[in-house]
């Protein structure tokens, strides 16, 4: 290989990002590729994170870790339903990325632990329907009651107790590594809203490291209910920095010019 050809290949390789990951479950009639822990179980074609029983904790993760680096973004969408007492609703669940030593077998706390508390390093997107109601991002496996301001993570949304319980709900979570913005969308139909219900900044790579086990956690305490995920898709993909994108384009251009010269 000539010096100019080698240089062009080095430009391409220098911009090579971590590998992308795709997972798609239109339902959970098959649990292939998933690891279930604690009280999580398959209920026909539904992923039941916790049953309608007091003091439960369950998690479900992709069995293979998802690679991360500073340029890795992701999008996920899921259909869920929490069925519980309207007068005394259960705590809720979390969408979770973690790099705890237990890997895909990790299980966090019950009740308001939402299956994630105690797992670190981690980034949890919390869907808590019990008062104080919140949708927000909590890092490090921290109990929501132990935050600097209890139950108020940065950029969180707060609504009415049980507002997204006892009905079909759809959620979308998008993460842009260039801005480190994580946005959460919520709707009662499969049509994604134009605007997020909440957004905050969190550096996922800085919090979880070079890989993350991705999935869900949930908890029941003295108030309880069934917490189900009906479908789920997850896609991670590298988002190159503008300079890296230019470097990659330059390398590819160099390769094209070399091929043309050889063909001339």
Average pLDDT, the chain: 89
Q: Is the pLDDT of residue 10 over 70?
A: no
Find the mean pLDDT for residues 51-65: 98
Question: Long-range contacts for 35-44 (Cβ within 8 Å, ≥24 apart)?
Answer: 35/60, 35/61, 35/62, 35/63, 35/104, 35/105, 36/60, 37/61, 37/105, 37/106, 37/107, 38/107, 38/115, 40/218, 43/228
Token pair in block for residue 191: 């049509």
Model confidence pLDDT, tens digit, residues 139-158: 999 999 999 999 999 999 99
Cα dist. 137→3, 12, 14, 106 in Å? 49, 35, 33, 19
Find the mean pLDDT for residues 153-178: 97
Q: Where are the domains positioned within the chain?
A: 1-17+241-264, 19-239
Class of domain 19-239: mainly beta
Model confidence pLDDT, tens digit, residues 209-263: 999 999 999 999 999 999 999 999 999 999 976 654 444 444 444 535 445 555 5
Quickly state the pLDDT bin for 16 (edges 50, 70, 90).
low
């Amino acid at each position: 290989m000539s010096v100019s050809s080698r240089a062009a290949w080095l430009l391409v390789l220098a911009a090579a990002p971590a590998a992308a990951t795709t997972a798609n479950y239109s339902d959970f009639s098959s649990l292939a590729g998933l690891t279930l822990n604690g009280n999580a179980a398959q209920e026909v074609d539904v992923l039941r994170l916790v049953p309608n029983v007091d003091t439960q904790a369950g998690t479900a993760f992709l069995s293979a870790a998802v690679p991360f680096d500073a340029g890795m973004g992701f999008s996920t969408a899921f259909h869920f339903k929490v069925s519980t007492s309207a007068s005394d609703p259960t705590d809720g669940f979390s969408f979770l990325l973690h790099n705890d030593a237990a890997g895909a077998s990790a299980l966090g706390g019950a009740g308001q632990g939402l299956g994630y508390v105690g797992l670190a390093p981690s980034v949890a997107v919390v869907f808590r329907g019990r008062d104080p109601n919140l949708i927000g991002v909590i890092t490090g496996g921290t109990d929501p009651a132990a935050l600097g301001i209890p139950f108020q993570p940065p950029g969180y949304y707060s609504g009415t107790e049980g507002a997204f319980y006892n009905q079909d709900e759809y959620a979308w979570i998008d993460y842009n590594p260039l801005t480190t913005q994580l946005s959460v969308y919520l709707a009662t139909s499969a049509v994604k809203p134009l605007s997020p219900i909440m957004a905050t900044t969190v550096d996922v790579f800085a919090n979880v490291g070079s890989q993350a086990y991705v999935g869900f956690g949930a908890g029941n305490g003295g108030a309880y209910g069934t917490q189900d995920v009906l479908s789920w898709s997850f896609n991670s993909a590298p988002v190159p920095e503008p300079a890296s994108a230019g470097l990659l384009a330059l390398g590819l251009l160099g390769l094209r010019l070399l091929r043309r010269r050889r063909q001339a």
